[in-house]
A and B are shown apart, each in its own frame.
Chain A
Amino acid sequence: MSFLSDLYQEVILDHNRRPRNFGELNDANGMAEGFNPLCGDKVKVYLKTENGVIQDVTFQGAGCAISTASASIMTEAMKGKTLDEARATFAKFHDMVTGKLEFDPDDEELQRLEVFHRLSEYPVRVKCATLVWHALMAALEDQAQAISTE
C-alpha cells in the first residue's frame, strides 16, 4: 500500500494531530470562510497584515486530514510574506496539486509543500487541500477591500 505512505505521510498526520496556528485570531483584519458542499467541511481563515505583509494567519474548522494538514502547513508558510508573494505561492501550490506544475525539488518554496505533491494522483481529494488556500485568497481580498475603503 505505497499510496498510504504517499498520501498520508507522517508530516500530514502530524499536522492533522497537532494543527499549527489553529484558532481564532483576535486582532485579525481579514477573515474568510471556505465551504466544500461535497463533504460539508467548513474552514475559516483569519489574517493580520501590516504594511502589506502577513503578520499572522490562523484557521479554524473541522475537516479531513488532508485539509487540516494543508491549512496548518499553509499558515506556517504564509507568515512574513507580502500579499503578492502569498498570491504567487497559492498559484504554485494550486498548479502543483492539480498536476499542472512538476514538483521541483530545488524550489525552496515548494519544498515546504512537498508533502502534497502526489495529491494530483487523487483528484477527488485535491479540493480538500485547496479549500483553505481559496479561503486565504478571499481573506486577502477581504483585507484589501478593508484597506481600500479606509
Chain B
Amino acid sequence: MGNAMQEYLPEQDKLSGPRAFDVESVRRDFPILAERVHGKPLIYLDNAATTQKPRSVIESISRFYESQNSNVHRGVHYLSQTATEAFEGSRRKIQRFLNARSSSEIIFVRGATEAINLVAQSYGRDRVGPGDEILISAMEHHSNIVPWQILCQQTGASLKVIPMNDDGELLLDEFDKLVGPKTRLLSVIYVSNSLGTVNLVSEMIELAHSRGVPVMLDAAQAMPHLSVDVQKLDVDFLALSGHKVFGPTGIGVLFGKADLLESMSPYQGGGDMISSVTFEKTTYNTLPYKFEAGTPNIAGAIGLGVAVDYVSEIGFDQIEAYEGELLSYATSALSEIPEVKIIGNAKEKASVVSFALEGIHPHDIGTILDQAGVAIRTGHHCAQPVMAFYGVPATARASLAFYNTAWEIDALVGAIHSVLKVFR
C-alpha cells in the first residue's frame, strides 16, 4: 500500500458541496472518531449496525446518573420529579421529531425489535385469526419476520411476502395484488439495512389504507438518514431504535396512532402500566404508560432525546444532501474496482453499500479491512432471505453516516486493494 496510503490521510475533505456542512467540525462532536484501531485511525463504516454517539449524548447520560438519578413517576421527592421531567421531556422531543400528534403516542421500548413484537402481540393476537394474512417484504430484517411468524403460529394466519427485483426494489405491482381482503396488516422496512433501498412507503401506505389495511413501518434504518413525519405518512405504527440514530442502546420507540393503541391489550403487565390493582381486577393506565410496564430505561430515554436534538440541529436537509454526495462518491469509487459487485442498486437509496468481491469471502474482507482500521460489517445482516435471494452466504457492507468522509471512502478502497493483493 505504501504510497497509496498517503492519499488517505485526513488533510482536506474532497466533498465540497455548496452547503456549509462542516464535516470535520461534526466529527469533533464524536469522541470515538479520534480512536485508533490496530495503530491506525478508526474508520467507522458500520453505522447500520449501530451509530456512534455525540459528546452531548454521552454527557447527558453521566449527568443523569451524577445528579438526577431517581425512579420516574413514583416519588414526591425532588430527584424523582427532576428525573420524571427529563424523561417526559424526552418523550416530547421525540414526538416533535416524528411529528406525532401527541406525546402519548410515543411508547418507550427497548428497540425496534421490541416495538415490532409489541404490535405483533398486542395488536395482532386480538385481531388476527385462521386464514388471515400478514404482509411483509422480501428485504425484511429478521426482526420484522420472526415476530410475525410467531403470530402466525399462534393464530393460524399466514405470512405473505412482497417480492423484489435484482436491484433490490420492491415490486409494487405484486404488492398491489397481495393486499387483499384477508390482509390484516402490512409491516414493511422503510430503509433496508442490507441493501440501502428506501422503499416507496408513502405509496404503499396509501394503497394499503385504501383497502382498509393498517401499516407498520420498521424505520430503524430510516431515522438516521431521512426526516420522518408520521402524520404526513399517515402511518399507523412505526418502530425505531435509539442506538441507530446516535442515541444509546437499550432504548427505542414505538409510535402508534392513539386510537389503535387505546384499543389494544397491554404487552406486559407490571408496575407503572396500571391505574389500580386488586386481586380481582386491574385497570390499566392511560397511554403511553399502558405499554410501559416496569422501570424504564430512564437514562437511555434522556440520551435519545439529546440525540434527536443533535440530529435536528444539523437538520435533515444538510444530512440528506451530504450523505447523497457521500453515497455517490462511494458507489463510483467502489464500482471502479473491477472485482467489486455492488448488491442493491435501487434508484432510491440511503448511504449503505453492500458488496461482494469475486471469489473472496466477506469474512476475509472484514478481517483484512479491520487491520487497516476500517470497520465494516460482514455477514448476513440479519437478513438471510435477502442473502438467499442474491445467492450469497454473506456480503460486506459499508454503511455511512453524516460524520463519514470521502477520505474514509478512499481508505476503504485502499484496504480493498490490499485484500485483492493478498488473494491475487
Contact = CB atoms under 8 A, between A and B. Distances in A.
Interface stretch (B220-228, B323-331, B363-371): B363-371
Nearest to A7: B367
Interface stretch (A38-46, A48-56, A83-91, A100-108): A38-46
Contacts of A65: 360-361, 364, 423
B29 to A, nearest CB: 30
B367 A125 contact: yes
Contacts of A42: 393
A4 B423 CA distance: 11
B371 A1 contact: yes
Interface string B355-399: 000001111100110011000001110001001000001100000
B422 interface: yes
A13 interface: yes
A66 B363 contact: yes
Interface in B403-424: 418, 422-423
A62 B361 CA distance: 9
B380 A40 contact: yes
A64 B363 contact: yes
Ranked nearest first, the 6 interchain pairs of A and B with the lowest CB-CB distance are A64-B361, A64-B363, A40-B393, A40-B380, A65-B364, A64-B364
6 contacts: A3-B38, A16-B423, A39-B380, A40-B379, A66-B364, A124-B367
Contacts of A38: 379
Contacts of B38: 3
Given A39-B378, A39-B379, A63-B361, A4 B368 contact: yes
A16 B359 CA distance: 10
A125 B364 CA distance: 9
A39 B392 CA distance: 11
Nearest to B379: A39
Interface of A: 1, 3-4, 7-8, 13, 16, 38-42, 62-67, 122, 124-125, 128
Given A40-B384, A63-B393, 20 more contacts: A1-B371, A1-B418, A3-B38, A3-B371, A4-B371, A7-B367, A8-B368, A39-B362, A39-B363, A39-B379, A39-B380, A40-B380, A40-B387, A40-B393, A40-B394, A64-B362, A64-B364, A66-B363, A122-B367, A125-B363
A3 B370 CA distance: 11
Contact of A4 (B363, B380, B422): B422
By size class, the interface of chain B is: 20 to 34
A7 B423 CA distance: 12
Contact of B363 (A1, A3, A13, A128): A128
A124 B379 CA distance: 12
Nearest to A128: B363
A123 B387 CA distance: 25
Contacts of B1: 1
Interface string B334-348: 000000000000000
Contacts of A63: 361, 393
Contacts of A7: 367
B382 to A, nearest CB: 11
Nearest to A41: B393
Contacts of B422: 4, 8, 13
A42 to B, nearest CB: 8
A39 B371 contact: no
Contacts of A8: 364, 368, 422-423
Interface string B197-240: 00000000000000000000000000000000000000000000
B377 to A, nearest CB: 11
A36 to B, nearest CB: 9
A66 B387 CA distance: 21
Contacts of A1: 1, 371-372, 418
Nearest to A8: B422
B258 to A, nearest CB: 40
Nearest to B380: A40
Contacts of B418: 1, 4
A6 to B, nearest CB: 10
B161 to A, nearest CB: 19
Interface string B19-38: 00000000000000000001
A115 to B, nearest CB: 14
A20 to B, nearest CB: 18
B393 A62 contact: yes
A63 B364 CA distance: 10
Nearest to B365: A64
B298 to A, nearest CB: 33
Contacts of B378: 39
Contacts of A125: 363, 367
A41 B394 CA distance: 8
A8 B394 CA distance: 20
A51 B361 CA distance: 38
Given A39-B393, A40-B394, A62-B393, A13 B362 contact: no
Contacts of A124: 367
A34 to B, nearest CB: 13
A43 to B, nearest CB: 11
Contacts of A66: 363-364
A67 to B, nearest CB: 8
Nearest to A4: B422
